[in-house]
Amino acid sequence: MSRLKLKLAAAAAALVAGLGLGQANAETVRFWYHFDNPDNPMSGLVQKFEKQNPGITVEADNVPWNSYYDNLYTAIIGGNAPDAAMVKLFAQPRLVEMGALEPIGKRIDAWDGKKELLDNLLTLNAGPNGKQYYLPIQYVVLYLYYRTDLFKEAGLQPPKTCKEFREDAKKLTHAPDRYGFGFRGGKGGWDQWGTFVFSRGAKLEPGGLTTPEAIKANQWLVDMFRKDKSIPPSAPNDGFQEIIGAFKSGKTAMTIHHIGSANDLVAALGDKVSAVPVPKCDGHAWTSYGDESLAIFSASEHKDAAWKWISFLAEPENNVAFVKATGQMPVTKTGSKTYDGHPKRFVEATVNSLPFAHVLPQTSATSDFVNTEWQTAMQQALTGQITPKAMMEKLQGLFTK
């Protein structure tokens, strides 16, 4: 071979070798998330991370929320799961049972950012077997929205007890133009229902839903719809869009939701909307803690890189950028102190509700309860197809072990 050819061959070989080595260093982390904001603020965070960590590429995919979990389960079973993803507590029991999650307890303990996380968030997000799979990334707590103008007009103060709540709702009702309370009977409304039923002692466990107190509590709520008629007749099919829409237009004077909708409501109503923690029923309050965390999947081949990415997102500054896009609350102490993404009154309502904010028990029956069973039973009870007592018995059938 001529010397030129030799040189060329050597150069080619070196190039190929270099590429090979380069490939060995460049890792790709596949990450799934769901943002309501379509303008893709994730790209800013991805760029920042990649600058800090040359050699790791992050492929972040925004998966439509409606099919997020369907797609995730399919991908896991089909062998094409991402390396990391945003996940919620209701999915944890199933994912753990599938063996799909990677325990990250040790990594968290060794991590600098651990002390930055708000107290007891890690406990709330612990796995069913005591191991830690979830890294909290944001949260919301449900509180009571009320129309300041309508309350002033009726000469009422926002309710502190359930008794006051029911009375206020009746007084504020001028059917068919206005109703006291916008109840969400469609999917996802269990967190409103819980405020009135779990606070009175009902529990998602064997025998916990059919105690006299639990049945009475459910009856109380259904009576508000069927007897007092202080809840709009559309409640059985109302989802998040409907209750917020009705509240905005003045069709309802109160509803229960969280800070994720606060900015939207303020843009529409300004000072006419405010929030307080949910009322206490018989001296106890219960409200839902809306969680969101990040997890690494056990089938991932880039677990270290994935951990770097998700812990990056949980650092104070990045976490604040993250929640600015999602409209929820940051999980770090520093972030919470300086967070100005929402008007103060809503942040206060959220923080003041933390002491009695709960998550549902971590069992796979809970997934069914949350996904399909609660709303079907609730709709039947509201429309009179079954009695409130029968509804509780039906739901009890899910929790029998």
Partner 1 sequence: MKRDGFLKRLAITHIPVALVILLAIGPFAWMILTSLTPSAAIVAKGVSVSPAGWAPDNYVRLLAHTDFLGNMGHSLIVALGTVALGLVVSVTAAYAFSRFRFFGRRVLMLQFLLVNMFPVVLLILPLFTLMRRLGLLDTHLALIIANATVAIPFAVWMLTSYVGAIPKSLDEAAMIDGCSRLQALRRVVLPLALPGIISTGIYIFITAWNEYLYALTLGGRHVRTVTVAIQTLIGEYQIEWGLLAAGGVVGALPVTILFLIVQRRLVGGLTQGAVKG
Partner 2 sequence: MSSINEALALEAPGPRRRRRLRRDAFLPYALLTPAVVVVLIIVFAPMIEALVTSFYDYVLFRPNAAAFVGIANYVKLFHDPVFWTSLWQTALWIGLTVPLQMGLGLIAALLLNRDFAWRGLARALVIIPWALPSVVIALMWRWIYDPNIGVLNDLLLRLDIVRAAIPWLASPDVALYAVIATLTWQGFPFFAVMILAGLQGIPKSQYEAAAIDGASAWRQFRHITLPGIGPILATAGLLRTIWVANSIDVIFVMTGGGPGYSTYTLPLFAFVKARQNLDFGYGSAIAVTFTVILGAIVAVYIARTMREVER
Instruction: Scan residues 76-115 and list those touching partner 1 (CB under 8 A).
Output: 77-80
Structure tokens at 83: 């390396």
Site string (359-398) toward partner 2, x via CB under 8 A? -----x--xx--xx--xx--xx-xx-x-------------
Gap between the terminal Cα atoms of the chain:
79
Q: Scan residues 55-74 and list those touching partner 2 (CB under 8 A).
A: 66, 70, 73
Binding partner of 340, given partner 2, partner 1, none, CB within 5-8 angstroms per partner class: none
Cβ-Cβ contacts under 8 Å for 97 (sequence gap 6 or more): 364
Which residue pairs, CB below 8 angstroms and at least 24 apart, start in 306-310?
306/29, 306/31, 306/83, 306/84, 307/104, 307/107, 308/49, 308/53, 308/56, 309/29, 309/31, 309/49, 309/56, 309/58, 309/84, 310/84, 310/135, 310/137
- Choose which of 264, 271, 282, 317 interacts with partner 1 (CB under 8 A): 264
78 binds, among partner 2, partner 1, none (CB under 5 to 8 A by kind): partner 1
Structure tokens at 18: 């270099």
Site string for partner 2, 223-262 (x = CB under 8 A): ---------xxxxxxx---x--xx--x-x-----------
Answer whether the bond into residue 176 is a cis peptide, omega within 30°: yes
- Please compute Rg for the chain using Cα positions: 25
Q: Select 87 or 121, whichever has its Cβ closest to partner 2.
A: 87
The CA distance from 370 to 288, in Å, is 12
Q: Is 241 in the site for partner 1 (CB under 8 A)?
A: yes
Closest to partner 1 by CB, 263 or 383: 263
Of 48 and 272, the one with the shorter C-beta distance to partner 2 is: 272
In this structure, are strands 287-296 and 84-87 parallel, antiparallel, or unpaired?
antiparallel
Nearest of 370, 369, 359, 368 to residue 136 by alpha carbon: 359
240 binds partner 1 (CB under 8 A): yes
* Least distance to partner 1, CB of residue 42, Å: 12
**What gap in Å lies between CA 313 and CA 132, rounded to an integer?**
18
Q: Please pick, from the candidates 10, 36, 55, 338, the single residue that binds partner 1 as defined by CB under 8 A.
A: 36
- CA 239, CA 262: separation in Å to the nearest integer? 17
Q: Does 74 bind partner 1 (CB under 8 A)?
A: yes
Q: Does 336 help bind partner 2 (rule: CB under 8 A)?
A: no
List of residues contacting partner 2 (CB under 8 A)? 66, 70, 73, 77, 94-95, 97-98, 175-176, 185-187, 232-238, 242, 245-246, 249, 251, 364, 367-368, 371-372, 375-376, 379-380, 382-383, 385
